[in-house]
Structure 1
Amino acid sequence: MTGITVSAANRTFVCLPRWTVDVPVSVAELLPDGALRAYPDDRWNSWRNNRPSEPGSRFVCVQSVVMDPQDNLWVLDAAAPNMAGPVPGGPKLVRIDLRSNSVAQVIALGPAVAPQGSYLNDVRFDPDGGTAFITDSGARGAILVVDTATGAARRALDGHPSTQFEPEVVPKSDGRELRRPNGRAMQSAADGIAISAVGTQLYWQALTGRTLYRVPTAALRDASLPPDRLGVQVERIGQTHVADGLWLDAANRLYVTNPETSAIEVATAPGAPLVVLAQDPRMRWPDTFSQGPDGVLYVTASHIQDSPWFHPQARVTPSSIWRIGTGAISA
Structure 2
Amino acid sequence: MTMTMTMTIAGACPGFRARLLLGGALLAGSALAGPAVAQDMPAPQKDAAPGLTKVASFEHQVTGVTVSKDGRIFVNFPRWTEDTAVSVAELKDGTLTPFPDAEWNGWRNAKKDQVDARNHWVCVQSVVADPKGNLWVLDPAAPAMAAVVKDGPKLVEIDLKTNKPARTIAFDETVAPQVSYLNDVRFSPDGKTAYLTDSGASGALVVVDLDSGKARRLLDGDPTTMPDKSVTVSYDGKPLRRPDGRGVEFAADGLALSPDGKTLYWQAIKGKTLYSLPTDALTGWLTSAVVPSALTDKSLSGKVETVGENGPADGLIISRHDGRMYVTAPEENAVKVRDLTAKGGTPTVLVQDPRLRWPDTFAEAPDGTILFTTSHIQDSAFYKPDAPAALPTELWSIKPGAAEATGSTTAPK
d(CA) in 2 for partners of 1:85 and 1:154? 20
Q: Name the SS of the counterpart of 2:137 in structure 1.
A: strand
Determine whether 1:45 maps to 2:105.
yes
Q: 5+ residue gaps in structure 2?
A: 1-61, 406-413
d(CA) in 2 for partners of 1:307 and 1:301? 12
Alignment of 1:178-189 (within 5 A): 178-189=240-251
Preserved CA contact (<8 Å) 2:76 2:89: yes
Task: Name the residue aligned to 1:279.
Answer: 352
d(CA) in 1 for partners of 2:147 and 2:329? 27
Runs of 4+ off more than 4 Å:
none
Alignment of 1:55-134 (within 5 A): 55-134=117-196
Determine whether 1:196 maps to 2:267.
no
d(CA) in 1 for partners of 2:331 and 2:281? 33
Determine whether 1:228 maps to 2:298.
yes
Structure 1 residues 76-104: Cα deviation after superposition (integer angstroms, max 9, x where no partner): 00100001121010000000011100000
Matched residues, number: 329
d(CA) in 2 for partners of 1:208 and 1:85? 21
Give the residue type in structure 1 aligned to 2:252.
A
Task: Name the residue aligned to 2:319.
Answer: 249
Aligned-residue offset at 1:272: 4.4
Return 50-59 or 225-234, whichever deviates more: 225-234
* 279, 289, 305: which one aligns with 1:217: 279
Task: Name the residue aligned to 1:11.
Answer: 72
d(CA) in 2 for partners of 1:140 and 1:268? 30
Task: Name the residue aligned to 2:235.
Answer: 173
Preserved CA contact (<8 Å) 2:309 2:346: no
Task: Name the residue aligned to 2:83.
Answer: 22
Preserved CA contact (<8 Å) 1:304 1:317: no
d(CA) in 2 for partners of 1:133 and 1:149? 14
Preserved CA contact (<8 Å) 1:64 1:77: yes
Aligned-residue offset at 1:120: 0.3
TM (norm. structure 1) is 0.97
d(CA) in 2 for partners of 1:272 and 1:96? 39
Determine whether 1:162 maps to 2:224.
yes
Higher relative contact order (CA 8 A, sep 6+): 2
Q: Name the SS of the counterpart of 1:115 in structure 2.
A: coil
CA RMSD of aligned residues (A): 1.3
d(CA) in 1 for partners of 2:345 and 2:187? 24
Preserved CA contact (<8 Å) 1:136 1:191: yes
Task: Name the residue aligned to 2:309.
Answer: 239
Give the residue type in structure 2 aligned to 1:317.
L
Q: Name the SS of the counterpart of 1:202 in structure 2.
A: strand
Give the residue type in structure 1 aligned to 2:311.
H
Determine whether 1:263 maps to 2:339.
no
d(CA) in 2 for partners of 1:210 and 1:99? 40
Task: Name the residue aligned to 2:409.
Answer: none
